[in-house]
Amino acid sequence: MTQSHYIYVNRVVRPAMVTDPTPDEQRIMADHFDYLKAKLNEGQLVLAGPCLDASFGVVIFSAHDDDAARRFMEADPAIAQGVMTADLRPFKLSLYRAPDG
């Protein structure tokens, strides 16, 4: 079965979290990072990261279908625990440069 790429754009629910996170938000964001790092190590995540102004972040990944993509996004601790909202879309990965090394 072939896989397609998807993207979700995420935004924090509480803007002050960026500069003054609560202990719960810190824990959830650490879990968010660990979740995405595990997906990278499994080969499902293509890339993820925030804008430097913290206005939003992106997650690009592969999944077998729309339902699997939605499950991937909804399992992200930041989404599942409500500190971020996300907008999921199919994505065409047309051009990219592999990391050096």
Confidence of residue 101 (pLDDT cuts 50, 70, 90): low
- Per-residue pLDDT tens for 30-65? 999 999 999 999 999 999 999 999 899 999 999 999
Nearest to 29, CA basis, from 76, 79, 78: 78
Tell me what the mean pLDDT of segment 7-17 comes to: 96
Q: Residue by residue, what is the 3-state secondary structure of the chain? A: CCCEEEEEEEEECCHHHHCCCCHHHHHHHHHHHHHHHHHHHCCCEEEEEECCCCCCEEEEEEECCHHHHHHHHHHCHHHHCCCEEEEEEEECCCCCCCCCC
Q: Which domains does the chain have, with CATH numbers?
A: 4-91 (3.30.70.1060)
- 39 φ, ψ (degrees, to nearest 5): -65, -35
Cα torsion at 99, 31, 85, 58 (round to 10°)? 0
* pLDDT beyond 90 at 98: no
Instruction: State the average pLDDT for the chain.
Output: 94
For 64, other C-beta atoms within 10 Å of its C-beta total 11
* pLDDT beyond 90 at 76: yes
Confidence of residue 96 (pLDDT cuts 50, 70, 90): confident
